[in-house]
Amino acid sequence: MATKGGKGIYIAALLLFLGGVGYLIASGVTNDSVYFLNVGEALATEPAKLKQARLFGNVAAEGIERMQPGPGVNFILLDKENPGQSLRVSYRGAVPDTFKAGAEVIVEGGMGAAPTAAGEGTVFTASTLITKCPSKYEKQNRG
């Protein structure tokens, strides 16, 4: 009789384990997933589908505007492979010291309409701004 009760415990434990794994999989694959895109892919996607996304590209030389008052910056993000494709980005928060024209950046946020100096338009509103470390921090070849 003790072996039947032991089997029941193993079956219950297995069902709990499988239920937990199923929950983790279901919660990881939800509509809240963050897309990682370049600028061209973001422009080709419906803005309604980009409520939460991560974009990467290069900061354009023109159009960098520091926000006043407080920390933040508005800038144009260029596609790394096709610089003709660009997107206006608005970021409010501490700007990294390495942020400058030509820097490679990753921004996380969402698409929407926001006022700009040129008027109303589609702007990527970033909640996070990360710059790639410049080459001066990479190991140099000594030969």
Q: pTM score, two decimals?
A: 0.67
Q: What is the dihedral of CA 97, 100, 102, 106, to 10 degrees?
A: 60
Q: For residues 140 and 51, give the distance between their C-alpha atoms in angstroms, rounded to a whole number.
A: 40
* 12 and 54, same domain (yes or no): no
Q: What is the pLDDT of residue 1?
A: 45
In a domain, 142, yes or no: no
- 44-86 pLDDT per residue, tens: 888 888 888 899 999 999 989 998 888 999 999 999 888 889 9
Which is it for strands 86-91 and 65-66: parallel, antiparallel or unpaired?
Answer: unpaired
Q: Does the pLDDT of residue 114 top 60, yes or no? A: no
* 93 and 24, same domain (yes or no): no
Q: What is the pLDDT of residue 119?
A: 46
Q: What is the pLDDT of residue 136?
A: 54
* 94 and 26, same domain (yes or no): no
Residue with tokens 């993000």: 77
In a domain, 62, yes or no: yes
> Considering its fold, how many domains does the chain have in total?
2
Give the domain range for residue 26.
1-30
Residue type for position 2? A
Residue 92 corresponds to which tokens in the numbers above?
A: 């409010």
Residue with tokens 């193993």: 10
* 68 and 128, same domain (yes or no): yes
Q: Does the pLDDT of residue 33 top 90, yes or no? A: no
